Structure 1
Amino acid sequence: MAKSCNACEKPIQNTDYMICVKCKKFYDLLYWKTIQSHRDKWLCPLCTNSRPKSDNTSTPVRPPVSSPVEDSSDKRNVNSARGSGPKTKHISPEINVSLADVFNELKKLREEIKEISTLRSELADVRTQVLAISTTMNETLIDVKKKLDDAHREIATLKCTVFQAQKDIEYQEQSALNNELEIIGIPEDKEEDLLTIISTTSKHLGVHLEVTDVNWVSRVSSVNTSKLKNISEKRPRPIIVKLVRRLKRDEIIRASKLKRDFSTDGIVAGPCQPVFINERLTKKNRLLFREARIRTKRNNFKFCWYRNGFIYCRQKENEPAIRILSIEDLEKIGPEEVSCESA
């Protein structure tokens, strides 16, 4: 069997080789030439390296080895991390106290964390309840707002209805006075005959009036004259005549407008006094006409009159007439005068 060199693994061609006394492996002639005198004791490099080292205490690099007593007492060269020295565990009381405090703090911290978790859960429940209440309140507010809007619309409609109803009532009240006229300026007398006075007055105006044309006739009290204490200072109460037909009333009024200087001369005994004949107005329209006359005078309006229950004013001739139906319409004439006391 051919031999091979254990170092270069090449076959050995001759008998020039060496055998390791330990591993019994073959090596080439190179090693035989170098160590030929030690052939019987020769060890290969591998076996030589595997042998334990010899004592190197005389090596100058290492310090001298201390005595066994010194080794046991001097612990400066002991490496406790590798287990070459004694292992002694010692914890000071201060560290033990600190650890106890840390454990107590950790315990308290756990309890606080648990309480925080409970609070978070409770806050989540409260938030859910608040959201539910908020949703309910929003729905309620929307419902209330809708009802308020409906109520406002209904109130506005009712206001319009009431306003229109008031207008209709005022119109009906004024229409009920369409056949009546008012005679102002004829003195009063306890023995007077109003029907005779009316007939005489119509004759002076050139209007033929039968007794059957008169429905009724009477004097009405005046608020302003009733406040006067002296009887001589009181104005005569106006005479109210209700005729059967409106045409007869309009005829008498037109005749009185044409006769500008119409007076009590020839109608009743006594001093001559001017007489005015007008159609009759409701209380509201009388107050409205009085205020209209005050404002027309203050704002230099030339004309102010009423016809068929409606009040008109005109600033100048040939200008359109302004119709007054309410207090608000008086602003078309001018603002109300403000006294110093009220201001």
Structure 2
Amino acid sequence: MVNKCGICGKFINPLDGIKCTKCDGLYHQVCLKLSPGHQVSSKWRCRSCKGNKLDNKGSSSSRMHSCADGHTDDIREDLSPLLQVSSGNMVEEVRQVIRAEMSSFRDELARICSTISDFNNRANAIESRLSTLEDQLAARAMDEEVRMSTIEERLAVRGVREENVNLNGIISQLQTQLNDREQECFLCDVEISGLEERSGENLINMVSLIGKKLGVDLDDRDVVSVERSGPRPSAVEGGSQQRSRVVTVRLTRRALRDELLRAARVRRGADTSGINSGTPRRFYINERLTRLNKQLFYKAREEGRRKGWRYVWTSGGRIYIRRGAGTPAYRIRSDMDIEKFFGDAIV
């Protein structure tokens, strides 16, 4: 807090001024017409505080106050020359104010540095915990591999039919679990087929145009990655035309992927007109499936077509079949399920 003299209004050092014991006001000794080093009573009060006290006691007390404080008239007469303060004192007072402000600034800066240091320590602790979790996951994956290797070794050494059946069941179960986990990684992915492959193509722009054509607003921020999957195409028999590879798109949200699939089903038959030059071709958008699920889906469709089952579809990376409207739906998890639901083995 900056202190000022109650008479001249200039800055004053609390140690150099005289302080009123009632109102805590500060005054220069010069402004009070006192010589340097003058001893002041510990119960000294300023003129205003004395005047308030004397007003309560009556006019006679007021006259006594005027006699006791003989400097009042002199102070009023000398106010004008006392308002001129030397430049040296003014500079010193400003320096004291700046020192106080700089000291406060340093304290605040030290507090901020301490807070930043605490945040850095917390971030390091989080990184350490993440590293530990990654090591644990790697160890678990290694244990799974060791476990499967152990099962295969037992199958090769014992050669017992009953144990082979049990172990094959365990392996099948583990493969199913691994397949399900791999499929969960594709919950935000779609595959677009039927897009002509060209050198230097901009796949992200192509996906955005497809989204607009289907009524789904897609921009660059909604696409995590997009690429052509599979080996380079080879020439089709009887001509030089090549079969284009599938475009795999990973979106930021599963809800956005589901919206794109619904729009593709509603606008079934959409083609590439307005997306790229050349002859318009129909394109198809489907869920991205694992290699095992693709094989099962293909077998289920072929067998369903042969047996007259009307519905074979995927939802959330899972394969379902239904004979007709109003009949129960079944989920296909393995070749055994295809044999079970369709009635006989598939060659």
TM-score normalized by the length of structure 1:
0.50
Aligned ranges 1:113-124 → 2 under 5 Å: none
**Structure 1 residue corresponding to 2:217, chosen from 198, 208, 222:** 208
2:195 is matched with which residue?
186
Aligned ranges 1:240-255 → 2 under 5 Å: 240-255=248-263
Report if the CA contact (8 A) 2:235-2:243 is conserved.
no
**CA deviation digits over 1:115-157, x for unaligned, max 9?**
xxxxxxxxxxxxxxxxxxxxxxxxxxxxxxxxxx9x9887776
The whole-number CA distance in structure 1 between the counterparts of 2:208 and 2:296 is 31
Amino acid of the residue matched to residue 317 of structure 1?
A: A
The CA deviation at 1:229 is: 5.3
**Structure 2 residue corresponding to 1:276, chosen from 284, 287, 290:** 284
The whole-number CA distance in structure 1 between the counterparts of 2:287 and 2:322 is 20
The whole-number CA distance in structure 1 between the counterparts of 2:312 and 2:171 is 29
Amino acid of the residue matched to residue 316 of structure 1?
A: G
TM-score normalized by the length of structure 2:
0.50
The CA deviation at 1:222 is: 5.9
**Structure 2 residue corresponding to 1:291, chosen from 278, 299, 308:** 299
The whole-number CA distance in structure 2 between the counterparts of 1:160 and 1:221 is 31
The CA deviation at 1:197 is: 0.2
**CA deviation digits over 1:262-287, x for unaligned, max 9?**
11111111111111001100111111
Ranges in structure 2 where 5+ consecutive residues have no aligned partner: 1-157
Aligned Cα RMSD in Å? 2.6
The whole-number CA distance in structure 2 between the counterparts of 1:231 and 1:209 is 37
Report if the CA contact (8 A) 1:295-1:336 is conserved.
no
Moved more, 301-310 or 163-172: 163-172
**Structure 1 residue corresponding to 2:273, chosen from 258, 261, 265:** 265
Assess, with a 3 A threshold, how the Cα gap between structure 1 residues 300 and 157 changes in structure 2: closer, same or farther.
Answer: closer
The CA deviation at 1:221 is: 2.3
**Structure 2 residue corresponding to 1:220, chosen from 202, 208, 229:** 229
**CA deviation digits over 1:33-56, x for unaligned, max 9?**
xxxxxxxxxxxxxxxxxxxxxxxx
Amino acid of the residue matched to residue 244 of structure 1?
A: T
The CA deviation at 1:195 is: 0.6
Report if the CA contact (8 A) 1:299-1:333 is conserved.
yes
The whole-number CA distance in structure 2 between the counterparts of 1:179 and 1:251 is 11
Assess, with a 3 A threshold, how the Cα gap between structure 1 residues 308 and 244 changes in structure 2: closer, same or farther.
Answer: same
Assess, with a 3 A threshold, how the Cα gap between structure 1 residues 155 and 296 changes in structure 2: closer, same or farther.
Answer: closer
Q: Which has the larger radius of gyration?
A: 1
Report if the CA contact (8 A) 2:332-2:338 is conserved.
yes
Percentage of matched positions with identical amino acids: 35
The CA deviation at 1:161 is: 3.9
**Structure 2 residue corresponding to 1:177, chosen from 167, 180, 186:** 186
The whole-number CA distance in structure 2 between the counterparts of 1:258 and 1:299 is 27
2:120 is matched with which residue?
none
2:315 is matched with which residue?
307
Amino acid of the residue matched to residue 177 of structure 1?
A: F
Q: Secondary structure at the match of 1:182?
A: strand
Assess, with a 3 A threshold, how the Cα gap between structure 1 residues 157 and 333 changes in structure 2: closer, same or farther.
Answer: closer
**Structure 2 residue corresponding to 1:198, chosen from 207, 222, 232:** 207
Q: Secondary structure at the match of 1:167?
A: helix
Assess, with a 3 A threshold, how the Cα gap between structure 1 residues 263 and 336 changes in structure 2: closer, same or farther.
Answer: farther
Q: How many residues were matched structurally?
A: 189
**CA deviation digits over 1:210-229, x for unaligned, max 9?**
21111110011269x54745
Amino acid of the residue matched to residue 263 of structure 1?
A: D
**Structure 2 residue corresponding to 1:324, chosen from 319, 323, 332:** 332
The whole-number CA distance in structure 2 between the counterparts of 1:159 and 1:296 is 27
Amino acid of the residue matched to residue 278 of structure 2?
A: G
**CA deviation digits over 1:34-80, x for unaligned, max 9?**
xxxxxxxxxxxxxxxxxxxxxxxxxxxxxxxxxxxxxxxxxxxxxxx
Amino acid of the residue matched to residue 335 of structure 1?
A: D
The CA deviation at 1:298 is: 0.5
The CA deviation at 1:232 is: 3.8
The whole-number CA distance in structure 2 between the counterparts of 1:298 and 1:152 is 34
The CA deviation at 1:294 is: 0.6
Ranges in structure 1 where 5+ consecutive residues have no aligned partner: 1-148, 339-343
2:115 is matched with which residue?
none
Assess, with a 3 A threshold, how the Cα gap between structure 1 residues 290 and 272 changes in structure 2: closer, same or farther.
Answer: same
The whole-number CA distance in structure 2 between the counterparts of 1:274 and 1:250 is 20
